[in-house]
Amino acid sequence: MIPPAAFLVLAAVLFVMGIIAFFVKRDLLTQFMAVEVMLNAGNLAFLALTKALGKAEGQTVVLFVITVAAAEAVIGLAIIVLVFRQRKSIRTDELKDLKG
C-alpha cells in the first residue's frame, strides 16, 4: 500500500521542477512545456487526494484539466507561431519590447 503522501510529494516535486524550468529556460516553447509539467503535477495531486478521500469527483476535474490543457496548447502554439513569423525568434530575451 503506497501512502498518499508519497504521491503528493511527487506532485510537489514535479510542480517545483516545472517552475524552475519556466524560469531557467529562455525560449517560449520550452517555457510552455514547463507549464504543461505544472498542469500535470496539479492533476497528480488531484488524483492522490481523490484516492485518499475516497471520492470520484477529483477524476472528473482531471479530465477537464486535460481537455483545457489541450485547448490551451493549441492556442498557445498558434500564438508562438505568429510571434516567430513576425520576429524570427522565440527567445524571450529578444522579445523585450512587449509593453502595456
Partner 1 sequence: MALIIFIILSALCAGAVAAMIVSHNQAHSALFLVLAFSSLGGIFGLLDAPFAAVAQVLVYAGAIMVLFLFAIMMFNLRLPQAPEKKRLRIVLTAALGVILLAELVLAGSRALRGAGPRALSAAGDIAHLGRLLFSDYLYALEITSLLILAALVGALALAGKKEGE
Chain positions 36 to 95 lying near partner 1, rule: CB under 8 A, are 36-37, 40, 43-45, 47-57, 59-60, 62-64, 66-75, 77-82, 84, 90-91
- Residue 2 or 100: the one with the smaller Cβ distance to partner 1 is 2
Closer to partner 1 at the Cβ: 12 or 95? 12
Instruction: Restricting to residues 8-27, name those near partner 1 by CB under 8 A.
Output: 8-21, 23-27
Give the burial string for 55-85 (b: 16+ CB within 10 Å, else e).
eeebeeebeebeeebeeeeeebeeebeeeee
Q: Is 31 in the site for partner 1 (CB under 8 A)?
A: no
On whether the CB atoms of residues 80 and 90 are closer than 8 A, the answer is yes
Residue 35 makes contact with partner 1 by CB under 8 A: no
Grid coordinates representing 30 are 520550452
